[in-house]
Chains A and B, each alone.
Chain A
Amino acid sequence: MAWRLRLAPEKTNFDFFKHQWLTFGGSVLLMLAAFLFWGTEGLNYGIDFKGGTTLRTDSSQPIDVGAYRQAMNGLPVGDVVITEVFDPSFRADQHVAMIRLSSVEADQAVSETDLAAVKAALTNLDPAIKFVSEETVGPKVSGELVYTSILAMVVTSVGIMLYIWMRFEWQFALGGVLALLHDVFITVGIFAFFQIKFDLTIVAALLTILGYSINDTVVVFDRLRENLVKYKTMPLRDVMNLSVNETLSRTIMTSLTTLLAVGSMMVFGGDVIRGFSFAIFMGVLLGTYSSVYVAKNIVLMIGLDRSEKPKNGRPSDHEFANIDA
């Protein structure tokens, strides 16, 4: 037999419910913690959601954040946040900073003249400075973006829930979507905890997590559906364990290939996209975890009606499950 890299033994027989209080309870705790950080620390919103201006500077001179701040002192701008950016792909003499400005007046965009004054002050401090990107988002748009993002989350979740309900049963739909929200909220919590910039691309990443994570969960559910037919009398808990064990090798394989790809994006893809890649990376980790430890636990808690339904004369409520795609 040829050599093969095996990440999981050929046949596993783990009891994934054994430490349920730890795994599921841990998830619940993590979610609560995520909400806590979200509520207390708040998210470090980018200008997409808060409005304001960001400048990306690039210079051959080292950056002195204090001096930058000093240079902008007295200029007609509100909050100034300066972050130095580091990336392995930068040249040795490449020093990049992100400067976020808000207007003095609460709901106004930074005016062009004020922005020109900021740029002049920084150029005065460091003649080698270049402004490689410049973005301004007005308060009107940022408010709408918040709304659209939330709408996108809700629409996606409902869409996925409807689809799973159609193909499986409502318990699966609920379990699947709750597991999704678990992944998304914990990821948001991590962004709140580390105060990583949260902008529109992060929302795209969160939506992608929804897609990926349900993908993982669906594979387990699919096997569960198959086994429920095969082992009609086996207790639900055992059928679930069997299904997860049977798909374990695949779950690990796919998570790893995805993590390899996303990980390379995170390390080599440049700092502009790092937050996005990081969110997806975390989401894939959490998604894998939740499809093994969260989704089916919820289904087990709700319980499943395993009697033959068509008996009472009504058609089965999961008539789409048998479509052989």
Chain B
Amino acid sequence: MLYSPLWKRLLILALCAWGIAASLPNLFYTQVEAHNDAVTAIEANAGVATPEQTADLAKWPSFLPSALVNLGLDLRGGAHLLAEVQVADVYAQRIDSLWPDVRDALRDARDQVGAVRRMPSVPGVLRVSVGNADGMAVAVAAVQALATPVVSLTGVGQKDLEVTTEGQEIVVQLSEPERVATDTRTMQQSLEIIRRRVDAVGTREPTIQREGTDRILIQVPGLGSAAELKAIIGTTAKLTFNTVVGRTSNPAADPGPRNSLLASSDEKDVYYIVADEPVVSGEELTDAQPSFDQNSRPAVSFKFNVSGARKFGEYTSTNIGQPFAIVLDDKVISAPTIQSAIQGGSGIITGSFTLEESTNLAVLLRAGALPAKMNFLEERTIGPELGQDSIDAGQKAAVIGVVAVSLFMLASYGLFGLFANITLIINLALIFAVLSSIGGTLTLPGIAGIVLTIGMAVDANVLVYERIREELRVHKTTARAIEIGYERAMSAIIDANITTLITASVLFFLGAGPVRGFAVTLGIGIITSVFTSLLVTRLIISVWFNWRKPSEIVV
């Protein structure tokens, strides 16, 4: 009676044992966390441990599981940003950098094309007026020759430029497949740069992921505020070296075509007129380090890659005695005069930096500039106190919920209620075990999901027990009643849980942030509760039944 094969029993027991072992670290969260942090720190330091790290290491035995549930931002506190990358910015940059090449190509065909002139247009579109209308076809062919095949999977065989004519003007813009390919590159680059910048600050487990086509979700636990996070990632740190055309104290001075008027970052009322096209830009930097100048003031030393070094060398050798501007984020940091040709591609930026500023600037320069601007669509800051309050409240609610449900089950089903309560605890352990081992994140709605599961988990037991009662009433033998009870309640249990699982999956795929955390715990809870309340209670009951061999039972 109520027999199940040994391997099945062992499997069930093994799963329960694993659940308890794997959920255990979460009961000692701070100790295990300190232990885990020490392990990573020692690993990063090539196995050398400081005394504090050794002490932290001893807080949790290494042979026990040490995977923890990640706490969501709403529980740990931290900053959350949803950014939209202005991918179209990149089109404009590409088109702008195309102009010198277009000019050169048309100059080579000058006798047929005539004089060419760049006309004003919207960003991302290059308009060139051609002096000799008869040479239009030649001009278009010359510009088209500049186009290269698109590097992407979908755009095979297509060119990256779209060249059309409008009267006396040639209109050049990026082709559709090139835009798609550019967007993908922009997003990857942005993600990588954000990741490096956030990592440079050294916080725990940041989440940086692409959402949809042009969005990036950034969550950094333990950070003071979203504004701080924005400062870390949002600073464009666009470094360029530009030709200085002039210097003025008039903020309204007219810089002339394709020049800009930029303020000095440290001198008041000093403005530089700077050529828009940079000599070298920060993208060609290979390294930047905080250092000190001759007067021991904080500075940043940098190194160019080969092409950057060549351009810089050429420029400095032909412009000795002229000033050039080091421009960071549209501000002139300094405008030194070129003393001699700078070959070798390394140099130093001096300005009135504090030590911290020079360190940050070096980090930002190393990480490179973001390829495009970002708009922040959503910002959330959760203070750590509020998070802790939520954890405390959630724990209290869960404990009270478990106790209340357990007492209720005990009162309603006696010994069988006790069996259900044991499996309720195992169920909780399993939820935490699964969450920890898949690296799931627990959020406040997630805790609510667990509490809800507590209430609903006993449902399967209630269904079975009620069914057993009914079967007992029609005078079946006790063992038979139990068996039929499980059998007949099965379809209701499965149907009921699958419908809830449908809800959980929709929540998971369509929900965001904390709501997704709720979907995860709800979904895991459904699966573990079916396991515990069907298989585990059945095992307990059969062991008890075969041991006591009761002639009659009261459910």
Shortest 7 CB-CB distances between A and B: which pairs?
A: A261-B455, A270-B393, A211-B503, A258-B455, A325-B494, A132-B383, A211-B500
Give, as a whole number of angstroms, the nearest-CB distance from B554 to chain A: 5
A2-B554, A134-B226, A160-B502 known; A155-B510 Cβ under 8 A: yes
Alpha-carbon distance between A256 and B510 when the two chains are bound, in angstroms: 30
Chain A contacts for B554, CB-based, 8 A? 1-2, 4
Chain B contacts for A260, CB-based, 8 A? 401, 404-405, 408, 455
Chain B contacts for A276, CB-based, 8 A? 445, 448
Alpha-carbon distance between A109 and B500 when the two chains are bound, in angstroms: 37
Chain B contacts for A6, CB-based, 8 A? 412
In the complex, what residue of chain B is closest to A248 when comparing beta carbons? B466
The residue from B379, B445, B490 contacting A273, defined by CB atoms under 8 A apart = B445
- B393 engages A215 (CB within 8 Å): no
Chain B contacts for A215, CB-based, 8 A? 456, 459, 496-497, 499-500
A259: Cβ under 8 A from any B Cβ: yes
Chain A contacts for B473, CB-based, 8 A? 10
A204: Cβ under 8 A from any B Cβ: yes
**Which of A134, A163, A264, A324 is the most central at the interface, judged by chain B CB atoms within 10 Å of its CB?**
A264
Alpha-carbon distance between A7 and B411 when the two chains are bound, in angstroms: 11
B82: Cβ under 8 A from any A Cβ: yes
Q: Which of A260-276 contact B (CB under 8 A)?
A: 260-262, 264-265, 267-270, 272-273, 276
- B500 engages A250 (CB within 8 Å): no
A140-B377, A269-B451 known; A148-B492 Cβ under 8 A: no
- B492 engages A219 (CB within 8 Å): yes
Contact with B along A112-136 (1 / 0, CB 8 A): 1000000000000000001111111
Give, as a whole number of angstroms, the nearest-CB distance from B71 to chain A: 14
A-B contact pairs, 30 of them (CB 8 A): A6-B412, A56-B386, A130-B385, A132-B386, A136-B379, A163-B498, A200-B512, A201-B515, A215-B497, A215-B499, A218-B496, A219-B463, A219-B492, A219-B496, A226-B488, A246-B470, A254-B458, A260-B455, A261-B455, A264-B398, A265-B394, A270-B393, A272-B386, A272-B393, A273-B390, A273-B445, A276-B445, A276-B448, A325-B494, A325-B495
B267: Cβ under 8 A from any A Cβ: no
**Which of B227, B454, B491, B514 is the most central at the interface, judged by chain A CB atoms within 10 Å of its CB?**
B491
The residue from A152, A256, A265 contacting B506, defined by CB atoms under 8 A apart = A152
A141-B378, A204-B515 known; A257-B458 Cβ under 8 A: yes
Alpha-carbon distance between A297 and B392 when the two chains are bound, in angstroms: 44
B462: Cβ under 8 A from any A Cβ: yes
Tally chain B residues at the interface, Cβ within 8 Å. Answer: 78
A277: Cβ under 8 A from any B Cβ: yes
Alpha-carbon distance between A311 and B447 when the two chains are bound, in angstroms: 52
B545: Cβ under 8 A from any A Cβ: no
A132-B385, A214-B499, A264-B401 known; A152-B411 Cβ under 8 A: no
Give, as a whole number of angstroms, the nearest-CB distance from B433 to chain A: 20
The residue from B84, B394, B506 contacting A155, defined by CB atoms under 8 A apart = B506
Contact with A along B216-242 (1 / 0, CB 8 A): 000000000111000000000000000
Give the size range of A's interface with the partner: 35 or more
A1-B554, A137-B378 known; A259-B502 Cβ under 8 A: no
Alpha-carbon distance between A216 and B456 when the two chains are bound, in angstroms: 11
B69: Cβ under 8 A from any A Cβ: no
Alpha-carbon distance between A6 and B378 when the two chains are bound, in angstroms: 51
A280: Cβ under 8 A from any B Cβ: yes
Give, as a whole number of angstroms, the nearest-CB distance from A266 to chain B: 8
A249: Cβ under 8 A from any B Cβ: yes
B176: Cβ under 8 A from any A Cβ: no
A211-B500, A215-B499 known; A138-B377 Cβ under 8 A: yes
Chain B contacts for A212, CB-based, 8 A? 452, 456, 500
- B466 engages A4 (CB within 8 Å): no
A104: Cβ under 8 A from any B Cβ: no
A164: Cβ under 8 A from any B Cβ: yes
